Every structure is written in structure tokens, then in C-alpha cells.
Chain A
Amino acid sequence: MVKAFRKERIVWIDLMITLLVLEVMSYFYYGPRSAVLAGMCVSAAVIAEILSLRLMRRKFTADDLTCTSDALIIALMMPPVIDMKIAVLAVLFGALAAKNVFGGRRNMIFSPAAAAYVFVLTSWGRKLLLYPEPHTKTGLFDDPEGLVSSASYIYNTTGKVEHTDFELLLGNFTGPSGAVSILLLAIAAVMLMFRRNISVGAFLGVISGTVLFAAVTPVAGTRAGSVKYSLIMNMVLFASIYIVADRRIAPKREYFAFFYGLFIGIISYILVLTKALENAIVIVSVLLTPFALALKNLEKKIEMADYAERAALRENTAGAADLPEADEKEADPHE
């Protein structure tokens, strides 16, 4: 039990390191407004967590700091110039309605970040899906100007990407502030996978599903181009690391988690291909939550069956070992 608690904190620290690196990159492209947005989100998350834990008569422990990584994920999925009130409402929704109403971090059903993103998308979709160009610094209290659609939107609707591979790797294209730094995301994915902080099965499932369908039914002109851009655009890499492969949501067994991720990858790719739905992976990950829950229930049933089988086997062996002794006792009439 103690090990499990420690593990949770270590996972949080590792996630925060990778998220802070992405935030630094966002600061480099969009200036201090991005950092202030992240700070506001993290503060709102901590306050909401403390308040809701107090209402549930629980103490705020170091493990509850996982709310800050969720808040940072939300901030990194938004344009850095979004209205601060919207960002704070999103974080409050994620912490209160998507997490603590269901019993807190030990009974999570949705990824708080994904649920908060869908909430903002349905309420302020236009504000969420317009982004500033990289290297455009907006003042803290200035109204953003010259907002444009993301590179993902252009790719989904035209099948074209007008950026070099180098720009794509460094995140020098329009999109959510943290989900565009592809090189950093790739490094983060490898690091988190090797440290077992994310569900390897779920992550590889999403990548496999997307690659498979991008190769079979390409959005762009060539298959190779389609595979490459399908992984880079629509927050696929970001969401597969921080939302789909979230250990709190994905099934425990890598085999089950792989299929969970695979379905998310395939369905979100089909939505992008047929409906040009921007960032479909986040919506699909929320919609497939019941599937993850069903797989987790199946895992529990398998574990229970295994346990019962082992217990029965142990009883049988113990019974067989006891049997000769009992016979011997019965055979001795002088005792």
C-alpha cells in the first residue's frame, strides 16, 4: 500500500517535469501570458481540490497534488490567449464535476483534463479553436488579435500542411500551446514509458490504430505523409500520452489497454477523415470511458477467478497433505 502511494507521487513528479518542459516551450513561443494562464489553472485546481476534499471530510495530502498536473494539461491544450475565466472554469469543472463528484482521485471515471476540454469545446468552441501565430506575444490584459485556425484544421479540411519537418518537430506552427512541440512530446513519451508512468499498451494502441488507418485510408496525398501528419496534428501525440495512457483511467493489463487505445486511435482517425473534426481524440477518449470501465471490471473478474482458483488449489494440496496423517492417526488404536 505504501509503495502504491509512493508510486503515485513519483508518477506525478515525472508527469510534471515533462509538462513543465512543454510549458517552457509555450512561454518561448507565446510569452508570459502562457505562463500566467498555466499558473492560474494550477492555482484554481489546488483551491478547488482543497475545498472539495474539505467538503468530503478528507485531508489534502501530497498525492492530491495530481490535480496540478491535470490543470497543466488543460492549460497546454488551450490557446495561450484564451480568456482566463474560461480556463479557470474548465479547471473547476475538471476538478469538481469530472473528478471529485465521483469520489476523487481513487474513483476516477473520466480524465479530468479531457472532460474539461470537451466542456469548453461545447460552450466556447470558437474561442478554443482559434490560436495566435507562434512568436506572437500578447500582453496579459490585451485582447488577442490576428487569431487563426490551427494547422490541424487546415490539414483536416485540405489535406495539406505548409510547414517543414523541422518546424513541426520544434512546434513552430499554430495549435494548442503545449500539443505542438512534437520532438519534446516524443522524448516525454519515451521517458514516461520506460519509467512506467503511463500505460504503454494504451499509448501504443493509439499510435498503432492511427498509423494503421492513416496508411490504409490516407488523408494527405501520400501514405507516408498521411501517417506522419496524422500523428502530429489534432493533438494525437499529446492526448495519447497524457489522456489515453493515463494510468488512472486506462485498464491495468497492457493487453486490454492496447485494445482500449487502438479503438480510440481508429475511431478518432475516422472522425478526422470523415467529419474533419479537430482534436477528435480528446472527445473520443471521453466517449470511450465506459469501455475502459468495462475492461477494468473484466480485469477484476479475472483476478477474482484467479484468486479463487489458487485458493481452491491450495486447499486441495493442503487436504491431500493432511490425509495420510489422519489415516495414520486412525490406524493407531493405542492413542
Chain B
Amino acid sequence: MNNRKTSVFDGILGDNMVLSSLMVISPVIICGDTLKNAEALSYAFTSVTILSMLIASFVPKKLPYTVKIIIYAMISSLVYIPVKVATQEFYRGAIDRIGIYFPLLAVNSLIVLQSEAKFFRMPRAKMFFSLFFYVVGFDIVMLLTGLIRELLAYGTINGRVADVDLPVSGLSQPFGGFIFLGLMCGLYRWIRSLVSREKKEMRSEPYVSDN
């Protein structure tokens, strides 16, 4: 049982949805091989998730759980339509490259599972900020993955050639994505344990007066 106090900023480091809970990892692994893909996915994920959750928060809580989940999915599917049109405008060709993982963002686990389990139990203002930082947490991981994988696998940064001596093209493939994400998860846990250890040490230090 987790007795840790929750904060609205948890979504970035304390409880990052990709690195800690391993949610929405398939687009990160399969499509996060270039920065352009990562930008398009981050934009679509942010828009679909925040708008859908805000609208869905007005759905009456008295409805049965199953009905509510179906309504949330329908809302996010409706929100997906303008987001897709905008993505086609801003990131040309991105939807073709991303393929099936783009429409699947409309039914991501943050909307379908975490909405009822976590977010809709909070007051609306707190929910909005908490959700925002969860989405930012996803975006940071997605963009970092896209940047590093593109640099190492293709020797480019956002399509511009960088001076990489030995590109590791295996990283552009899904198995490379799995391994890269695994290493990032390990690094994330290590950083989190360092932070929590420092906090514990600070708490256990006795108070010494200057007088």
C-alpha cells in the first residue's frame, strides 16, 4: 500500500505514466524513433487527453461505471476528429508514419482507466493541474526518446544531419525501442530512489540551533 502524499507535480517525476506505470508505451516504442514523430504524437496526445478529460469530467457520476467508460471513449473519439485534422495541417505525413498508433491515442489508458480510478476523484481544479503534469510527463519522455533515438539511429536531429560517427540503426526498430525504454525506466528509478533517499536523510537530520 502506498502511503506517500500525492502532489499535482507527481506526473512528471514521482509517478511518470510511461516510466513508472508503463502506460501508453506502444507509441513510444514503435513510433518514437524520430523527433518529428514524437512532436506529432505529443501534440495529439496532449490535445486529445486534456480536452477529452475536461469534457468527460462533466459526465454525471451517478451513471454506472461501464456506461461512463463508454461515454468517455465516445467523447475522446469526437475530440480526436479535429485533432487529427490539425495534426495533418501542422505535421504533414506524420499520421501516415505513425499508422494505427495515432487513432489508438483516442482510447489511451489515461482516459479509459485512470480517469475513474484517479482523476475524477479529485476536485476539478486539482484534477486539471494533475492531469496537465501527467501529460507533460508523457511528452517529456516521448520527446526525449524521439530525440535520442533519432540521433543514435539515423545520425540526425529533427531531420538535420548531425556528426554521428557510428549510427546504431537497430535503435530505430521496435526491439531497439523496447531496450531504450527499459534503460530509461532503470535510470528513472535510480534517480527517484536518489531523490527519496535525500529527502529521508534531510528529514532524519537533527535540528541544530545556531544559538
Q: Which residues of A contact B179 (CB under 8 A)?
A: 97
Please state if B171 and A97 are interface contacts (CB–CB under 8 Å): no
Please state if A123 and B183 are interface contacts (CB–CB under 8 Å): no
Q: Which residues of B contact A (CB under 8 A)?
A: 165-171, 173, 175-176, 179, 182-183, 186, 190
Please state if B186 and A123 are interface contacts (CB–CB under 8 Å): no
Please state if A85 and B166 are interface contacts (CB–CB under 8 Å): yes
1/0 contact trace for A9-50 toward B, CB 8 Å? 000000000000000000000000000000000000000000
Please state if B182 and A123 are interface contacts (CB–CB under 8 Å): no
Residue A61 interfacial (CB < 8 Å): no
Contact of A123 among B165, B169, B190 (CB under 8 A): B169
Q: Which residues of A contact B (CB under 8 A)?
A: 55, 83, 85-86, 89, 97, 101, 118-120, 122-124
Shortest Cβ-Cβ A-B pairs, 4 listed: A122-B170, A123-B170, A123-B168, A123-B169
Contact of A97 among B165, B166, B182 (CB under 8 A): B182
Please state if B168 and A89 are interface contacts (CB–CB under 8 Å): yes
Find the A residue at minimum CB distance from B186. Answer: A101
Find the A residue at minimum CB distance from B152. Answer: A123
Q: Which residues of A contact B190 (CB under 8 A)?
A: 55
Cα distance, A101 to B180, chains bound together (Å): 11
Contact of B183 among A86, A97, A122, A124 (CB under 8 A): A97
Known contacts A97-B183, A101-B182, A123-B171; A86 and B176 CB within 8 A of each other? no
Known contacts A101-B182, A122-B175; A86 and B169 CB within 8 A of each other? no
Q: Which residues of B contact A122 (CB under 8 A)?
A: 169-170, 173, 175-176
Find the A residue at minimum CB distance from B165. Answer: A85
Q: Which residues of B contact A119 (CB under 8 A)?
A: 170
Cα distance, A120 to B167, chains bound together (Å): 11
Please state if B183 and A89 are interface contacts (CB–CB under 8 Å): no
Please state if A86 and B166 are interface contacts (CB–CB under 8 Å): yes
Please state if A83 and B166 are interface contacts (CB–CB under 8 Å): yes
Cα distance, A123 to B171, chains bound together (Å): 8
Most B CB within 10 A of own CB, among A83, A86, A119, A123:
A123
A88 CB to closest chain B CB, in angstroms?
10
**5 new A-B pairs (CB below 8 Å) besides A122-B169, A123-B170?**
A97-B182, A122-B173, A122-B175, A122-B176, A123-B168
Contact of B166 among A55, A89, A101, A118 (CB under 8 A): A89
Find the B residue at minimum CB distance from A93. Answer: B179
A150 CB to closest chain B CB, in angstroms?
21
A57 CB to closest chain B CB, in angstroms?
11
A84 CB to closest chain B CB, in angstroms?
11
A-B contact list, 7 entries, CB within 8 Å:
A55-B190, A83-B166, A85-B166, A101-B182, A101-B183, A101-B186, A122-B176
Q: Which residues of B contact A55 (CB under 8 A)?
A: 190
Cα distance, A118 to B174, chains bound together (Å): 13
Cα distance, A86 to B168, chains bound together (Å): 9
Q: Which residues of B contact A123 (CB under 8 A)?
A: 167-171
Cα distance, A96 to B167, chains bound together (Å): 19
Cα distance, A101 to B169, chains bound together (Å): 21
Most B CB within 10 A of own CB, among A83, A86, A89, A124:
A124
B165 CB to closest chain A CB, in angstroms?
8
Cα distance, A56 to B167, chains bound together (Å): 29
Q: Which residues of A contact B169 (CB under 8 A)?
A: 122-124
Cα distance, A119 to B190, chains bound together (Å): 25
Cα distance, A320 to B183, chains bound together (Å): 57
Q: Which residues of B contact A89 (CB under 8 A)?
A: 166, 168
